[in-house]
Amino acid sequence: MTSKEKLIYLIRKYNEGNYSTSDFCDLFVEYHRDMADEETLSDFSEKWLSELADICARFSDSPEDLSIPNVYFSEDKIKHYTDTFSQKLIY
């Protein structure tokens, strides 16, 4: 399975509720890093996946962290992002 296929699988399974947001973010950042060396993507896909990797790298479920503006992202932000944009990317 290529890194891109792993990312697509991971996004689908996360959207189905099979991964916690914390586990999803850890795996997504790792797979995205691996994919950067392996594959060439469309501009849209690369932009979207890079933005999601940045959001995942800054995920926190701590209310203290989330009270700091523009630093951390909540589970709701990640779910919204994957729900909204994964349709355009993988379906």
The model's pLDDT over 63-81, given as tens digits with 9 standing for 90+, comes to 999 999 999 999 999 999 9
CATH number at residue 48: 1.20.120.650
Copy the structure tokens of residue 50.
């890079």
Task: Provide block-wise average pLDDT over 10 residues at a time, the chain (91 residues).
Answer: 84 95 95 76 80 96 95 96 77 46
Domain of 65 in residue numbering reads as 3-90
Predicted confidence at residue 89, as pLDDT, reads 63
pTM listed for this prediction: 0.86
Query: Structurally, how many domains does the chain consist of?
Result: 1
* Alpha-carbon span 69 to 13, nearest angstrom: 29
Predicted confidence at residue 43, as pLDDT, reads 76
Copy the structure tokens of residue 52.
């999601």
